[in-house]
Every structure is written in structure tokens, then in C-alpha cells.
Amino acid sequence: MFYPVLRLRRLRNNQTIRDMVRETTFGLENLIMPYFVVPGENIKKAITSMPGIYQFSIDRLIEEVKAAYASGIKSILLFGVGCEKDEVASAAYDENGLIPKAIMALKDGVPGIFVITDVCFCEYTSHGHCGIILNDEVDNDRTIELLGQTALAHARAGADMVAPSDMMDGRVGYIRQSLDEESFTNIPILAYSAKYASNFYGPFRDAADCAPKFGDRKTYQMDYHNAAEALREVSQDVEEGADIVMVKPALAYLDIIYRVKSEAKMPVCAYNVSGEYAMLKAAAQNGWLDEKKTVMETLTSIKRAGADLIITYHANELARWIKDGSVTL
């Protein structure tokens, strides 16, 4: 009988040795929790298609972020929802608008929290597109001018990082120049570099009330059939001054995360998006999956593919599970 000399099972014999040779690890410091902020007071409104996720008024947001920070979540991403909408997204770059007010309140109420802000217009335009419409099309250059104003409004309010998610050409360079000209040279840019026109965004559009009123976003978000194009997008953003590049969504794009990390050789973020979250939640609620184990496997797969940072709606509950001892990293 043949007996193998090389027995890979030797390193799987017990938990101690499995932990010793584990190749991929991550911690709460790698996770970013998204929040949806709405005008008003004392609002905590459940999002039906995203169980466990809510829209918060600023006062309730402070309470929530305090608890998250105490549990170990140190970084958050803000989306403004429910503001007055118009054709040119005026509320997005209003210095006294919802997100600047939220940033200032968070910096005062939760010292140490790292605030990242979404820089895009889909939540603020009456038509729901991510840019300014001219002659029935999204006008790239006019849009990036206003995106620069939005990034400045957030930086002036105290944002730690800005994250343009619109997918306009040249917006990273324009935002970088706008920030630098006002001495915000230390504010990093997290660029949504490879953002695909995905079918996994549906629950987010419920949460942010940002579905386009006509057409779709395929003229600016990427075709999901393409991989090499993602590397061109990333390369352009890096040349224009991006400090971190992002792939969005995550689970159906692990190959893209891997290729971006291998070629860009810089920090890579992946967005574990609303549809991915909702699918797992639905399966868990029906008893089809063990939620905690599947969340850990999911996030580990994204980290294993090459993501240094993961934006995920699971962040807060994972922190709670670790705190109560039901999950270990």
C-alpha cells in the first residue's frame, strides 16, 4: 500500500495548528460601516429590504455610532437621504447641508470616529442619476465641477476621507486639485474605481431613494462582462491622485479584486453591497444558512481575494458577535 510522505492534513490536525498556519486574517479595523442619514429628529426608520439596517436622523445616528465605536468599529461611510432634490443636486454641496451637519455632530459626539463621505449626486437629483443632465445625457465635465464643491463642503465640515462614487471621468483629479487648492492636502480620496452597473444594488436604492427616473447607469458604471477595463479605470484614478481604490460589488467580483490588488499594489477596498447583504439575511432568516458562520466566510473570501478594507453592512453585528463571544476572528 502506498503511504504519502507529504500529508497536508498534518497542519489541520487541531484548532491550534490551524490557527498557526492560517493565511488570511482580518479584524474590525479592516471594516467600514455604512450609514444612511435623513433630516429631522428622533428618526430610526427600518429599511425593509435590508433587515437590521436603518435610516437615522443625526441625533439617533450619534447614539448608534457611539455604540458601534465602543464595540470596535472605528470607520464609517455616510450617505445623505431625503434631502430636497433638484436638477443640479444643490443639497449635495450645500455647506449647511445634511452631511456637513452630520460630520460636525459626529466629530463632536464621537471623538475618534473616522468619517468617510460618499461624494455623488444620485440621492440629491430629481432624476436620480449620479450627474448633471444636459441634452438628456449625464454631462461629465459639469458634474465633476460640482463634485469638487461637494468634496470641499465635506472637508470643511471635518470629513476624514472623501469617496467619489459617481464614475465620471477625471473626477478624482478634479477633487484632488480642489482639495489641495484649499490646503486639504491631507484628506485622502477613496475612489470607487471599478464600480460596475450591477443588479446587486436594489436594496440600496430603496434605502437611499435614488433609483434613476429614466434610463439606467450603464453609460458611466462599468459593464460587468469586462475585467481589463477595471484595471484601466484603477490606473486612471491612481494617476489622478487616488489614495485607495475600490471594487464594487464584492462577491461576484472577487476576480477583479484579486487583479486590482496584484497590479495596483496599493490599498484596495471592496464594497460588500446591499444585495449581497440582503441575500444572506434572507437565507439566514429562512434557516437555510448559519448567518454568523456565513458572514465570516463571506468577509474572509473578500479579504483573501486581496481587499485591505471592506465596506459591509455586517460590520456592527459582527462587532457585537465578537463582543458576546459567539464569534472569534
Helix (H) or strand (E) holding 149: helix 140-157
Q: What CA–CA distance (Å, rounded) separates 59 from 38?
A: 10
Q: What CA–CA distance (Å, rounded) separates 100 from 92?
A: 9
Give which of 195, 298, 307 is closest to 262, Cα–Cα: 307
**213 catalytic per annotation:** no
The residue type found at 307 is A
Write b or e for each residue in 2-23: b if 16 or more Cβ atoms lie within 10 A of its Cβ, otherwise e.
eeeeeeeeeeeeeeeeeeeeee
Burial of 225: CB neighbours in 10 Å, binned 0-12, 13-18, 19+: exposed
The one catalytic residue among 85, 107, 248, 281:
248
Q: How many CB atoms lie within 10 A of CB 285?
A: 11
Q: What CA–CA distance (Å, rounded) separates 225 from 25?
A: 30
**323 catalytic per annotation:** no
User: What are the Cα distances from residue 139, in Å, to 33, 129, 145, 164, 166?
Assistant: 31, 11, 11, 16, 12
The one catalytic residue among 45, 107, 195, 261:
195
Burial of 1: CB neighbours in 10 Å, binned 0-12, 13-18, 19+: exposed
Burial of 27: CB neighbours in 10 Å, binned 0-12, 13-18, 19+: exposed
For helices 291-305 and 315-324, what crossing angle results, to 10°?
120
Q: Active-site residue numbers?
A: 195, 248
